[in-house]
Amino acid sequence: MTSASTFNLILLYSSLLNIYNVMIVFNTTYAVHESVDAQWLDYVRNELIARMLLDGFTAPRLMVIDHQVERGYRNYALQFEHPGDEAFSDWQSVAKSRYDASLRRAFGEKVLSFSTMMTPLDLSTQK
């Protein structure tokens, strides 16, 4: 099985898991130096997303942020959905630091990031 086939299988599995109500959206904003932009995109598409899907995250979305904060950098947002259960707390306390260290080893300070956990609101209620 090719890596593309494996990735598509993982993506299908993650979307099947997404039939449950989403409790959180996990967003990471990246500032990527133009000298490593192509390599970083390859890393995200071929490694990071697949690992996150295996860790129980679903519905990956990668977006370019149209506002440039610093010259020479391109900004991205990478979002996933997660049920926000105990597994997320475990991931956050154990695995997130491994992801951050892997990113630093691969790109040093040419890729900066911060993460935010968000809870979707139901727009149909008045609360």
Count of all residues that appear for the chain in the document: 127
The residue ranges of every structural domain in the chain are: 3-11+20-118
Tell me the fold of 3-11+20-118: Alpha-Beta Plaits (3.30.70)
Average pLDDT per consecutive 10 residues, the chain (127 residues; last block may be shorter): 61 49 84 97 94 91 88 94 82 83 92 90 71
pLDDT of residue 124: 78
pLDDT of residue 93: 81
**Contact assessment for residue 54 and residue 11, using Cβ atoms and an 8 Å cutoff:** no
CA proximity to 23, closest of 78, 96, 77, 86: 86
pLDDT of residue 121: 82
**Contact assessment for residue 104 and residue 40, using Cβ atoms and an 8 Å cutoff:** no
pLDDT of residue 50: 93
- Tell me how far apart the alpha carbons of residues 90 and 43 are, in angstroms, rounded to a whole number: 24
